[in-house]
């Protein structure tokens, strides 16, 4: 969460809204405001999505510590939960403070662009991957 918030503050300070800095031929740092969810889903929904996404994130942030305590002997699961918690908190702070999430990592190959994302989004994806791996591993062990 801290890394996510620091990088977003740097983007706010050094990159104009909708501006960019080219890092490599396939990577740009951009300054986009995403009022929707992942991949800008619901970004044109008229404003209600802010409160809906705050509610969903708040439920996740509240639920994860309880689930964490109940699964102390599952290190991969716990790591996944911590990644998801950090990412959810990072984006939740943006939604409450700004009303949108700052996305700044923009990958592309030629004219094919991946939707912009941020450190919190990456953390959530890593966490989800760890949860899937843990579930797969436990299924093999059964």
List, by residue number, the catalytic residues. Answer: 103, 121
List Cα–Cα distances, 131 to 14, 39, 46, 87, 125, in angstroms: 35, 21, 33, 14, 10
Task: Please check whether residue 7 is in contact with residue 119, taking contact to mean a CB–CB distance below 8 angstroms.
Answer: yes
Residue 136 CA, chain-centre distance (Å), reads: 23
- Residue 51 phi/psi, 5-degree rounding, is -70, -35
Task: Please check whether residue 114 is in contact with residue 108, taking contact to mean a CB–CB distance below 8 angstroms.
Answer: yes
| DSSP one-letter code for 116 | P
């Amino acid at each position: 969460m801290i890394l996510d918030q620091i990088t977003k503050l740097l983007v706010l300070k050094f990159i104009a809204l909708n501006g960019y800095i080219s890092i490599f031929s396939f990577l740009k740092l951009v300054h986009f405001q995403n009022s929707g969810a992942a991949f800008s889903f619901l970004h044109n929904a008229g404003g209600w999505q802010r409160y809906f996404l705050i509610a969903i994130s708040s439920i996740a942030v509240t639920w994860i510590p309880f689930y964490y305590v109940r699964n102390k002997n599952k290190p991969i699961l716990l790591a996944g939960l911590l990644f998801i918690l950090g990412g959810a908190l990072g984006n939740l702070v943006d939604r409450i403070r700004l009303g949108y999430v700052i996305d700044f990592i923009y990958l592309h190959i030629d004219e094919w662009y991946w939707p912009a994302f941020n450190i919190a989004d990456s953390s959530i994806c890593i966490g989800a991957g760890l949860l899937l791996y843990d579930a797969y591993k436990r299924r093999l062990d059964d």
